[in-house]
Structure 1
């Protein structure tokens, strides 16, 4: 067990994996966080720019983007921990549905924007 590393639920189990795999896992976590920032920025921009869309649909699309951007870092942290724990235990890597959920969010926002254009 390695002392002083957070979170203990991850670093307190198994053996130290090859650093390349841990660093790749961390890069994935950071990429999800960049995506979250982009979602929040997109949601703010959509509303702040006041595009010529139906106001209610524009607001809903903005809120969906911002909510997804707020949830994504939490989901990314959980997935990082699950993957790192699996690496340390030399277990199969866990599956992820984050990409599918994020794709669904983007489709919903796209549909809201299309309807927002048609309803103006």
Structure 2
């Protein structure tokens, strides 16, 4: 994965999908943790890629995933998206809750497993 400064900013057109796409989120987090998110919108970026925006219900932070489960972060400076490591992106919506101990113990165990799996995926990319 390129350094942050070397990442391309991928701008696109946001749209509201007719059908909500839960597959990438459920595939990453599982049914239980995915239930903590709302589907907000999708953005078509160059290369025919669609990035789905999922908003965490309590932290209000976003997790951006494409159809194959690659992670992105919105970059306000360029008003576009850049690819990020999956293990980093998966923690973004939970950072506040983790910092203040507001994640229930069962969810914490699940989240740890998700993070470890995402770390293995990111490390092999």
TM-score, with length taken from structure 2? 0.27
- From the two aligned structures, give the one with the greater helix fraction: 1
Q: Larger Cα Rg: Structure 1 or Structure 2?
A: 1
Q: Which structure is richer in relative contact order (CA contacts within 8 A, separation 6 or more)?
A: 1
- From the two aligned structures, give the one with the greater strand fraction: 2
TM-score, with length taken from structure 1? 0.28
